[in-house]
Amino acid sequence: MSDKYDVIVIGAGPAGYVAAIRAAQLGLKTACIEKWTNAEGQGVNGGTCLNVGCIPSKALLDSSHKYHETKTDLAPHGIKVADVGIDVKAMIDRKGNIVKQLTDGIAGLFKINGVTSLFGTGKILVGRQVEYTDHDGNKQVLTTENVIIATGSQPINIPVAQVNGNTIIDSTGALELTEIPKRLGVIGAGVIGLELGSVWNRLGSQVVLLEAMDDFLAILDQKIAKDAKKIFAKQGLDIRLSCRVTGSEVEGDEVVVTYQNSDGKDEQETFDKLIVCVGRSPFTEGLLAPDCGVNLDERGFIFVNDQCATNAPGVWAVGDVVRGPMLAHKGSEEGVMVAERIAGQKTQMNYDIIPNVIYTHPEIAAVGKTEEQLKQAGESYNVGVFPFIASGRALAANETDGMVKMIADADTDRILGCHIIGPSAADLVQQIAIAMEFGATAEDIGMTVFSHPTLSEAVHEAALAVNGHAIHIPNRKKRT
């Protein structure tokens, strides 16, 4: 193994493996160090996202949705099904097979593109050197022109509910349950809590989500958030806001959780399993030598500029370990940007247009500014809303919950944001992300011909509604 590289990437999650592949495509001699191991102790690429994050959670979300749909939602279609059951082990095994297929795929892509794959840990030393330690403890100092840090994030643990891997688990443990808990508690009603709570709620768990914040999904446009809370309550999710967990005690196979409710009174709930989903923190443990020159900000993230360069020459950082939303696609695009800048290109990234998705059912997706953000900034804007209940395609599919909300500048009509709760929201919002990248106006979307009948027509109608031109719903303002 050569100890001299053009690029060494530390971390092979979505930010790291994409950076490594793109660097190699550009003719740079590249190595990628990954610490993750599978159940057999073998090194695997993919990081948190592929192994215990985005991919396995979506596999369980899809499996649980199909089960729930078969059990409860097929009657309107005239389909009768009896004796519907769920084999949880088979569901978990399917998830594992998907993970293996994708992680093996990264290994294949590394081989095709000429990336040297190293399993173990990396530590950044002074002078663009990396101390590589393999899983057997053998150390080697590698030299390189550039280092890309892509070490990702880890679940935040809280003292009042310490994860024990049995009754109290984190998001990773929630993906490995082999039995359906009768009573499931979730601390945190954010993206991860809602997705995992949805999985086990569909399978039959009584799910209670304890959220310390006063507002539900405060990061979202609040019209969408309020609609989402109503829909989730209808599905059986018990979401309790302004509830601060103050303690937990394991009693046999149960865990008793004490929390302070919105009135300031102490209450208790007993669960068979408790999932702690209070957020994630950047992972930098053992990564930085004291004199390496890489600085952390006040929140523990690696400090970088707009092009993801750190204070240390030749050292870059991307993904969850730096500022900005912890989203796999944000990290991947940062990885591409950095690889291309190392190769001499002037690639930039538009941080104003990063879609965000919650993979509940219905899905929630957003891009751009919320109405609350625009109000706070004092900007003038117009809003168009179109409900899926007025969509012929949504009615045909019996998927009528939710809406599309479009926001455009009052003077220029340029699209400032799009917020969707409804069927295929994750895919629909991408249409507007592309439009925003090209500076499109609501009128531009309104003048575009959309196929009929499609869910995309809801996006079209919302754009028309911005200027009072919607066809299939009453307009809020006079048509001109």
**What confidence tens digit (pLDDT) does each residue in 345-356 have?**
999 999 999 999
Q: 150 and 29 share a domain? A: yes
Residue ranges making up the domain that contains 244:
168-278
Query: Does residue 163 fall inside a structural domain?
Result: no
Q: 298 and 197 share a domain? A: no
- Percentage of the chain beyond pLDDT 90 is 98
Region 124-138: mean pLDDT is: 97
Does the structure show a pLDDT above 90 at 478? Answer: no
Please, which pLDDT band fits residue 480 given cuts at 50, 70 and 90? Answer: very low
The string of pLDDT tens digits covering residues 424-454 is: 999 999 999 999 999 999 999 999 999 999 9
The string of pLDDT tens digits covering residues 196-248 is: 999 999 999 999 999 999 999 999 999 999 999 999 999 999 999 999 999 99
What's the pLDDT at 477? 62
Q: 372 and 448 share a domain? A: yes
Class of residue 226 by CB neighbours under 10 A (exposed 0-12, middle 13-18, buried 19+): middle
Query: Does residue 478 fall inside a structural domain?
Result: no
Q: 125 and 245 share a domain? A: no
Q: 270 and 181 share a domain? A: yes
Query: Does residue 351 fall inside a structural domain?
Result: no
The alpha carbon dihedral of 8, 13, 17, 19 has a sign of: negative
Which among 452, 460, 469, 472 is annotated as catalytic? 452
- Which residue, of 342, 366, 385, is where some domain finishes? 342
The string of pLDDT tens digits covering residues 106-122 is: 999 999 999 999 999 99
What's the pLDDT at 228? 98
Q: 88 and 131 share a domain? A: yes
The string of pLDDT tens digits covering residues 74-85 is: 999 999 999 999
Q: 316 and 187 share a domain? A: no
Average confidence score pLDDT of the chain:
97
Bridge partner list, 27: none
Query: Does residue 472 fall inside a structural domain?
Result: no
Q: 185 and 266 share a domain? A: yes
Region 298-304: mean pLDDT is: 96
Query: Does residue 473 fall inside a structural domain?
Result: no
The string of pLDDT tens digits covering residues 169-183 is: 999 999 999 999 999
The string of pLDDT tens digits covering residues 314-330 is: 999 999 999 999 999 99
The structure's pTM equals 0.96
Q: 13 and 150 share a domain? A: yes
Query: Does residue 446 fall inside a structural domain?
Result: yes
Tell me: cis bond preceding 362? Omega within 30 of 0 counts: yes
Tell me: cis bond preceding 290? Omega within 30 of 0 counts: no
What's the pLDDT at 187? 98
Query: Does residue 272 fall inside a structural domain?
Result: yes
User: How many Å apart are CA 272 and CA 137, to the nearest integer?
Assistant: 39
- Which residue, of 313, 342, 371, is where some domain finishes? 342
Query: Does residue 333 fall inside a structural domain?
Result: yes
Using H for helix, E for strand and C for coil, what is the string for the chain? CCCEEEEEEECCCHHHHHHHHHHHHCCCCEEEEECCECCCCCECCCHHHHHHCHHHHHHHHHHHHHHHHHHHHCHHHCCCCCCCCCCHHHHHHHHHHHHHHHHHHHHHHHHHHCCEEEEEEEEEECCCEEEEEECCCCEEEEEEEEEEECCCEEECCECCECCCCCCEECHHHHCCCCCCCCEEEEECCCHHHHHHHHHHHHCCCEEEEECCCCCCCCCCCHHHHHHHHHHHHHHCCEEECCCEEEEEEEECCEEEEEEECCCCCEEEEEECEEEECCCEEECCCCCECCCCCCCECCCCCECCCCCCECCCCCEEECHHHCCCCCCHHHHHHHHHHHHHHHCCCCCCCCCCCCCEEECCCCEEEEEECCHHHHHHHCCCEEEEEEEHHHCHHHHHHCCCCCEEEEEEECCCCEEEEEEEEECCHHHHHHHHHHHHHCCCEHHHHHCCCCCCCCCHHHHHHHHHHHCCCCCCCCCCCCCC
- Which residue, of 289, 318, 342, is where some domain finishes? 342
Q: 146 and 199 share a domain? A: no
With a CB cutoff of 8 Å and minimum separation 6, the contacts of 94 are: 59, 63
Please, which pLDDT band fits residue 2 given cuts at 50, 70 and 90? Answer: low
Q: What is the CATH number of the domain that holds 98?
A: 3.50.50.60
Region 359-382: mean pLDDT is: 98
Region 394-420: mean pLDDT is: 98
What's the pLDDT at 476? 79
Q: What is the CATH number of the domain that holds 377?
A: 3.30.390.30
What's the pLDDT at 142? 97
Find out whether 47 and 16 touch, Cβ atoms under 8 Å: yes
Please, which pLDDT band fits residue 39 given cuts at 50, 70 and 90? Answer: confident
Q: 37 and 143 share a domain? A: yes
Region 262-279: mean pLDDT is: 96
C-beta pairs of 94-100 under 8 Å, 24+ apart in sequence: 94/59, 94/63, 95/56, 95/59, 95/60, 95/63, 95/175, 96/56, 98/55, 98/56, 98/59, 99/46, 99/50, 99/51, 99/55, 99/56, 99/59, 100/38
Q: 96 and 80 share a domain? A: yes
Q: Is 452 one of the catalytic residues?
A: yes
The rounded Cα 473 to chain-centroid distance in angstroms is 33
Q: Report which of 398, 423, 407, 420 is spatially closest to residue 369, judged by C-alpha positions.
A: 407
How many domains are contained in the chain? 3
